[in-house]
Amino acid sequence: MHFSLISTFLALINPYSHGKAQTRSLSAAPKRGNSMQMVSATMAERWATLSSTIASLMFAWAIICQYSPYEVRNIIEKLKQRLRDYFNPYIQLCIHEYTGERLKRSEGYVLVESYLSSITSKDANRLRADLENDGGNLVLSMDEFQKVTDEFEGAQVWWGLRRISASSRTYYPEQGKRFYKLVFNKKHRELITKSYLDHVMKKGKDIRARNRQRKLFTNIPGSYNKMSSGMWSHIVFEHPASFETMALDPEKKEEIVEDLLAFSRNKEFYQRAGKAWKRGYLLYGPPGTGKSTMVAAMANLLNYDVYDLELTAVRDNTELRRLLIETTSKSVIVIEDIDCSLDLTGQRKKNKDEKSSEEDRDMTDEPKKERKEEPKKERKEVPKEDGSSRVTLSGLLNFIDGIWSCCGSERVIVFTTNYVEKLDHALIRSGRMDKHIELSYCSFKGFKVFAKNYLNLETHQTFDKIESLMGVTNITPADVAENLVPKSPRDDPEKCLSNLIRTLEEAKEAADKKKKAKEAQEMIGAVQPQDEKETEKPE
């Protein structure tokens, strides 16, 4: 049987024997019609021989696979795979859904899924719609056993979604899971493995950032407990503030927006300069001038999460560093009312006073022993107080601009305060708080923004009077907004503007009375020393 199979195969691959017989038959044919019949008969015989040969080879291969030892079959399979790989002009690259830790999706798989969502709707016939894990937007992706085509710098690639068949002998979650298969030509190996995959990861991150639901985080008091699931709790961040709706001068608004956008786009600059990719903003001004609204507008402009850090709930510097480590990139870390959060302003002055008092006590010997014992008792009792924060100025400075500040990237750190003069200069210097933004009282340009947003008015006959009053009166944006908000269906723009004018006039009268009282007090203070001299003369 083996001899007949070999002879048949050799006869099949040697076309000369059939060609000679065909030539003789054609030369002997007297007519053209007969010659065509002879050619068709020869082709039929060749196909019959080929089919019988293939059937014989398949039968022989089945016999070999069934009766040959496992080692022989394994060697044959390896040879087959090597031959297939050698002659196959394409390369396959697989990205599995679950790798490493069980029940945790691969970051690469998620980014590829986000990237393919932008091209899936064009090519795939079957689509799958899913919500993001955090309840964000609806994302379309290809269904199983679908294929889409992509092109990058002239190279064509094919993406497919496959599934590993689940095994009945194991209960591991890796079985039956999906993976993406990327197929491309061998001549594009370097382009695909270096440039294209980086492009896919970067584009996938951008798409995922746009589709995700942003969050507002706050630190959990007592999160040092090992049983705690995390140090931050969060809710959905849906603040509607934007720079378009803020009552700021257009020049200042444009300056802040350009600074924020330049920061978010200058990753290469920070890497080249050897600096951590972060930027600090100090927002200061009277209460009600829109500092918290500015923070929300920053987050909405950059599409960042917000971490509202409450320093009084942090036990010590170690916990402060742990909080920083658990923050993510593309985030705004805000500490509001930094001057009221902790007593961080007078520590250096206190240290100097302690040193001078110790030098004074060294002048005598006997009081020194008695006075040294009392401070020791006080220092031992302070850490024992439950719930007290031991965050120091040095710990906060290290949080902002120390070694630990480089554990993440693309972060904006914001401090807000009503009294900037109370803060330590080391806390707000350049490199920590890079840009200082003063949010002061409302100007007429800011009022026009409110009038447009609240009342849909760009001009009105009362605007001139409002402008003159605002030029001599200090009123916060919060007070202006409160007067322009309709309180009932009967409140039309005329009534809202009248309420604002009345408030401005009352504020002007109060300011005038305060100014007159101050001038009178100064006059009394100037006259009082002369009266004292006159009363001293008779004595």
Type of residue found at 145: F
Q: In the prediction, which pLDDT does 536 show?
A: 53
**Do 466 and 480 meet the contact criterion of CB atoms below 8 Å apart?**
no
**Do 329 and 234 meet the contact criterion of CB atoms below 8 Å apart?**
no
Q: In the prediction, which pLDDT does 403 show?
A: 77
What is the residue-wise DSSP string for 62-105?
A: HHHHHHS-HHHHHHHHHHHHHHHHHH--EEEEEEESB-SSTT-B
Whole-number Å distance between alpha carbons of 178 and 148: 16
Q: In the prediction, which pLDDT does 182 show?
A: 92
SS3 sequence, 415-444? EEECCHHHCCHHHHCCCCCCEEEECCCCCH
Greater confidence (387 vs 392) lies with 392
Task: Look at residue 226 and tell me whether its pLDDT is greater than 70.
Answer: no
Per residue in 176-213, pLDDT tens?
A: 578 899 999 988 989 998 899 999 998 888 888 777 78
**Range 441-452 average pLDDT:** 92
Task: Look at residue 500 and tell me whether its pLDDT is greater than 80.
Answer: yes
**Range 308-321 average pLDDT:** 89
SS3 content of the chain, % helix, strand, coil (to 5): 55, 15, 30
Percent of the chain with pLDDT over 70: 74
**Do 224 and 317 meet the contact criterion of CB atoms below 8 Å apart?**
no
142 backbone dihedrals φ, ψ, rounded to 5°: -75, 150
- Count other C-beta atoms under 10 Å from residue 394's C-beta: 13
What is the pTM (predicted TM-score) of this model?
0.67
Range scoring the smallest mean pLDDT among 26-30, 206-210, 456-460: 26-30
Task: Please classify residue 213 by burial: count the beta carbons closer than 10 Å to its beta carbon, then call 0-12 exposed, 13-18 middle and 19+ buried.
Answer: middle
Task: Look at residue 462 and tell me whether its pLDDT is greater than 50.
Answer: yes
**Range 277-289 average pLDDT:** 93
- Count other C-beta atoms under 10 Å from residue 53's C-beta: 16
- Indicate the helix (H) or strand (E) that contains 142: strand 138-142
Give residue 530's pLDDT band: very low, low, confident or very high (50, 70, 90): low
Dihedral sign from CA coordinates of 195, 197, 198, 200: positive
Range scoring the smallest mean pLDDT among 34-43, 161-170, 187-196, 356-365: 356-365
* Structure tokens, 465: 């009077």
Task: Look at residue 279 and tell me whether its pLDDT is greater than 90.
Answer: yes
Q: Mean pLDDT over all residues of the chain? A: 78
Whole-number Å distance between alpha carbons of 149 and 185: 13
**Range 495-508 average pLDDT:** 92
Greater confidence (23 vs 310) lies with 310
Task: Look at residue 504 and tell me whether its pLDDT is greater than 80.
Answer: yes
Whole-number Å distance between alpha carbons of 315 and 391: 7
Apex CA 287: angle with CA 283 and CA 290, to 5°? 55
